Amino acid sequence: MKTLFLLASKSAWARRGSLFLAVLSIAISVTLLLGVDMTRKQAKNSFLNTISQTDLIVGARSGPINLLLYSVFRLGNATNNISYDAYQRIATDSRVKWTIPLSLGDSHKGFRVLGTTQDYFKFYRYADKQALSFAVGGQFDDLYDAVIGAEVAKKLSYKVGQSIVLSHGTISTDFAEHKDKPFRVVGILEATGTPVDRSVHVSLEAIEAIHIDWRSGARSQLKIDAKQARKFGLKPNNLTAVMVGLNKRTQTFVVQRNINDDEQEALLAIIPGTTLSQLWRTLGHFETVLLAVSLLVLVAGLLGMLTMLLSTLNERRREMAVLRAVGAHAYQILLLFIIEAFLMVLLGCLLAMGMLFSLLHIMQPILLEMYGFNLLLKGLDSQQLLLLLSVLVISVVFSLIPGFIAYKRSLQDGLTVRL
C-alpha cells in the first residue's frame, strides 16, 4: 500500500498542472459549502439569541411577527400604541416579576431611539442569559442623558460627554430635529451583536419632553425649551411595547391568554422564542436555496475531477500497461486511481479549510460593522466534519469509474502501438 501511495503521488506530481486546477476547484467548492453552512448556523443562533429570558412581549393587537420586528429588531413601526394604563395593569400583576417599557418612533442619524427605564439595563438579556454591560460610562440619570450602543459609538465616533440631537420620526431632516433639547452621551454599551448596538437609549420622560411642544407629528406654535420642559409632569400616555418577565415560566400561557383577552384594550402578547422560530422558518427557504446551490457547486467540482481523470486515461494507457508488465495486479491499478482521487480531494479539503478561516477572519469585522452580525471563528462541528468525510467518500466512488475502465483494459491493448 505504501508503494501505491508513493506511486500515486509521483504520478500526480508529473501531471501537477492539471491536478492543481482540479484541487483548486474542489477547494473553492468545499469552501463555499462550509462557509454557507457555518454562516447560516451562526446567523440562526445569533437571530434566536437576540433576546433571552423574556417570557412575553406585549403590544397593540397586530401580527406576532410585526410586533417582534419593531420591538426587538427595531424594524418597521407599530400600527398602534398601548396605553400607559394597560402597561401599569400588566406591571402590577402578581404573576409578573419585571417589565421593560419600550417607546419607539424617533431616530438619530439613521439609528433608532428607544425610550425606556433603567430596568432595561437591569433585566434585558441576550444570547445565553447575558446581561448588558457598559464599555464606558453608565445608565442615564438626568432627563437629557443618553446611552448609545457600540455600533452607534463606532460609526459616529461618539464619546461620553458628547452632545447629540434626536430627530422626530425615523428619517433625519433639519425641520424634524429636536435641536432645542440636546442630549448628552453618558454611557456606551459593550457590543452584543444584536439591535441594541444600533440603538440610542433615553428615558421615557425624555421622550415626553422632546415632544411636549409637538402635536399630531408636527411642531406646534408653542415653544417650550429644555429647561422649561423639566417643570412639566412628563408621565407618558402610551408606549410602543412592553417586555415581561414572569415569576414562574409555567404561567406563561395563562398570562398570555389573559392579556390577549383583555376587555379594556386590544392587546397582543407573544412568546419571543416561539415567534423567533416562526420567523426563522419563514426565512428558512433562502437558507435551503443557498445550501442547495453550494452542494451543486461541490458536485460540479467533483465532476470536474472525474472529467480530468477520464480525459487522461488514454494518455496513461501505456503507464498502466507498464505497471501490469512489471507485476502489478489489476486491482492495484484500480487502487491507484482511488488513492489519486482521495489525495486530490484531501488536499482540496485542507486548502478549503485554510481559505475558509482566512475569509472568515477578513469578513468578521466587516459583517460586525455593516450588519451587527458577530461571526465567530471556531472549529468545524461534527456535522461539518461528517460533510468533509462524505466528500472524501464521494470522491472515492467517482474514482471507481476511471479505475474500472483501466482495470478492464488488457496488457496487450496498453502495449499495442496504434498508427
Q: What pTM value is reported for the model? A: 0.71
Terminal Cα distance for the chain, rounded: 36
Q: What is the mean pLDDT of the chain?
A: 83
C-alpha cell at 145: 442623558
- The average pLDDT across 260-288 equals 86
| 3-state DSSP assignment of residue 199 | strand
**How many CB atoms lie under 10 A from the CB of residue 72?**
22
**How many CB atoms lie under 10 A from the CB of residue 78?**
22
Q: Which of these, 97, 135, 136, lies nearest to 119 by C-alpha position?
A: 97
Determine the pLDDT at residue 324: 62
160, 165, 167, 172: CA torsion to nearest 10: -90
Determine the pLDDT at residue 410: 45
Domain coordinates in residue numbering, the chain: 2-47+283-415, 56-270
- For residue range 132-158, list pLDDT tens digits in order: 999 999 999 999 999 999 989 989 999
Q: Which of these, 378, 409, 337, 334, lies nearest to 45 by C-alpha position?
A: 378
- For residue range 197-226, list pLDDT tens digits in order: 999 999 999 999 998 887 665 666 677 888
Distance CA 245, CA 360 (A): 37
- For residue range 54-109, list pLDDT tens digits in order: 999 999 998 899 999 999 988 888 889 999 999 999 999 999 999 999 999 899 99
C-beta of residue 346 within 8 angstroms of C-beta of residue 18: no
Which residues, at least 6 apart from 122, have a Cβ–Cβ distance to it below 8 Å? 98
- For residue range 151-202, list pLDDT tens digits in order: 899 899 999 999 999 988 776 666 678 888 999 999 999 988 888 999 999 9
C-beta of residue 112 within 8 angstroms of C-beta of residue 199: yes
- The average pLDDT across 22-37 equals 85
- For residue range 40-53, list pLDDT tens digits in order: 777 777 777 788 88
